[in-house]
């Protein structure tokens, strides 16, 4: 590693994942690479000198524009004071740091006034007042916001309408969001390209359908409605009619959805590359899986785990027509013609041996 870093004095970006020697690697980085603008440290053990490491990062790289410290549970309550010194920071990800304090979030958004992307998922201490403070300080310039919504209410969600430039919104388990938060808050956002509302089940089917039929949905490329259990076929009609540029659609465990709704999506969302339908128990694949090769030629992945009413024969036929497509069946296994042919050959051999033994 030392030899590599010595040969890259002008290195601008580095990602460090799943390492126990991250402190030593950073020391090598400090000694050899002085122009780092983007630093990612994910799921690494920072040992007992976390603040010392962060102090050095700030000292050596005051011009840092992107910092990701994901899954570093050793972060102390004073981490905000250190990170807030990075006044040119534009992108910050502190997700999966359960001990991150509310004060740290407050002081960061007050001082890092150039922030455009902020990710704070899986944070234990995140409440409505904190979200409002974030939006009051940097909401007007945010293009990406990812939050853990489990403790948030409509007071937070309605406040999102101030984030007029927002293009990516990811809310994890926003179980307290109602029709008001969905329509008055998120519904007011006109520039969204990516929207994730995982685990949002507290609004009505009518409100969700109204939301999905908005003209602004035409800009959506990525849509994740995992466990949005009120979604029905009328809501899917909105997706099919509005989301003409959609590339990824996740509808896991949306059990009100039927074959009729999926048919509309397949017939209209021509640019789909990933379609995830895990646990959509009522679908059978009848009438529309045969249309996938002609209607969804760009599809790369079809995820059907726990969709037990879709026959394996339909999936084999689909894979034969689209060899590049990865299909996951109801058991969570990749559908493979090679494996199926091998099983057929083994079965034939076993039958042949059985008849041979009987004949002799």
Q: What is the pLDDT of residue 357?
A: 52
- Between CA 111 and CA 109 the distance in angstroms is 6
First to last CA, the chain: 67
Q: Residue 74 above 50 pLDDT?
A: yes
Q: What is the pLDDT of residue 345?
A: 42
Provide the 10 A C-beta neighbour count for residue 120: 22
Between strands 66-70 and 91-93, the pairing is parallel
Q: How many residues does the chain have?
A: 360
- CATH code, 73-359: 3.80.10.10
Angle at 167 between CA 163 and CA 169, to 5 degrees: 75
Q: Which residues, including other chains, have CB under 8 Å from residue 52's CB and lie 6 or more apart?
A: none
Average pLDDT, the chain: 92
Does the structure show a pLDDT above 90 at 51?
A: no
Which helix H or strand E contains 311, and what residues bound it?
Answer: none
Q: Give the confidence band of 344 by pLDDT, cuts at 50, 70, 90.
A: very low
* CB neighbour list of residue 340: distance below 8 Å, 6 or more residues apart: 316
Give the model's confidence band at 20: pLDDT under 50 very low, under 70 low, under 90 confident, else very high. Answer: confident
Record the pTM: 0.92
In the predicted structure, residue 253 carries a pLDDT above the cut 70: yes
The mean pLDDT value for 148-177 works out to 96
Contact 177, 149 (CB under 8 A): yes
- Whole-number Cα distances in Å, 270 to 116, 189, 233, 298, 319: 31, 24, 18, 8, 18
């Amino acid at each position: 590693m030392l030899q590599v870093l010595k040969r890259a004095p002008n290195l601008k970006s580095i990602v460090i994942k799943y390492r126990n020697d991250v402190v030593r690697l950073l020391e090598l980085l400090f000694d050899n690479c002085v122009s780092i603008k983007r630093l990612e440290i994910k799921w690494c053990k920072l040992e007992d000198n976390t603040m010392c490491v962060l102090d050095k990062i700030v000292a050596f790289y005051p011009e840092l524009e992107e910092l990701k410290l994901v899954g570093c549970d050793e972060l102390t309550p004073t981490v905000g004071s250190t990170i807030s010194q990075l006044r040119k920071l534009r992108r910050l990800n502190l997700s999966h740091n359960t001990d991150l304090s509310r004060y740290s979030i407050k002081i960061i958004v007050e001082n890092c006034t150039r922030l455009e992307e902020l990710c704070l998922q899986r944070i234990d201490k995140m409440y409505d007042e904190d979200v409002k403070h974030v939006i009051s300080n940097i909401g007007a310039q945010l293009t990406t916001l990812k939050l853990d919504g489990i403790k948030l209410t409509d007071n937070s969600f309605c406040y999102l309408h101030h984030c007029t430039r927002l293009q990516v919104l990811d809310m994890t388990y926003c179980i307290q969001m109602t029709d008001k938060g969905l329509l008055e808050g998120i519904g007011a956002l006109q520039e969204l390209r990516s929207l994730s509302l995982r685990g949002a089940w507290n609004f009505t089917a009518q409100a969700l359908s109204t939301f999905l039929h908005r003209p602004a949905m035409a800009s959506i490329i990525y849509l994740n409605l995992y466990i949005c259990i009120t979604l029905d076929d009328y809501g899917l009609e909105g997706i099919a009619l509005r989301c003409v540029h959609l590339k990824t659609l996740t509808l896991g465990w949306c059990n009100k959805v039927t074959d009729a709704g999926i048919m509309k999506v397949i017939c209209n969302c021509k640019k789909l590359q990933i379609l995830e339908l895990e646990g959509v128990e009522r679908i059978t694949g009848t009438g529309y899986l045969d249309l996938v090769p002609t209607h969804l030629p760009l599809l790369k992945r079809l995820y059907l785990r726990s969709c037990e009413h879709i026959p394996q024969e339909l999936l084999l036929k689909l894979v034969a027509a689209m060899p590049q497509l990865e299909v996951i069946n109801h058991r969570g296994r990749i559908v493979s013609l090679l494996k199926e042919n091998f099983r057929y050959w083994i079965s034939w051999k076993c039958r042949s041996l059985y008849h041979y033994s009987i004949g002799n």
